[in-house]
Amino acid sequence: MKAPSWLRALDILLGLIAVILSIMVLVYQELTILTLISVLSITLLIIGIARIFSGIFAVYLSNGLRAVHAGTGILAVALAIVAMLYTGLATQVLIYLLSFALLINGIARIVIGGFARVFPSWLRGSLVVVGLLTIVLSVFVFVSPGPGFLALVLILSFMFLFNGIARIVQGITGTQETDL
């Protein structure tokens, strides 16, 4: 069973937006940290919306994997809204909110890569790799007192970039039943 073409197009579009916003943060580092965090919050909102749509409309996935998509999407949207509305929170708290959302997203990528047999094995493997990288960098943001805020924001931006690329690849590839 293939994903509907409109859902694949939505994955590609939302992945492209996430990639573009991530690159903007990497290129325009001279902006204030709060502005960069706001751009990343919008990126998180986009990723959350994509996950919610996958959870609702990806009927080719099992109910459990659809619940993982929808649940992580709802959490991502909620955390993105908190980060956008409460910009008065300490910068470190905003960075932790984004990092926590990415940590959950990384776990979801590993679960989906491990269990979504509708994807080719190479895509499943790449989802697991992106998930592991996302988790490692998220934990680094939490436990590393050394880097400044800009370094942490740039790490978050790379995580969003990797996850946006994964969404684009998933949209381009579509699905196909495999025996693995």
Q: Which residue has the tokens 């931006």?
A: 157
**Rg of the Cα trace of the chain?**
16
- All structural domains of the chain with their residue ranges: 5-173
- The count of other CB atoms within 10 Å of the CB of residue 86 is 11
pLDDT tens for the chain, residues 1 to 180: 667 888 889 889 999 999 999 999 888 887 888 888 888 899 999 989 999 998 998 888 889 999 999 999 999 999 999 988 888 888 888 888 888 998 998 999 999 899 888 888 888 899 899 999 989 988 888 887 667 777 788 888 888 898 889 889 888 887 644 333
Q: Which residue has the tokens 């902006």?
A: 31
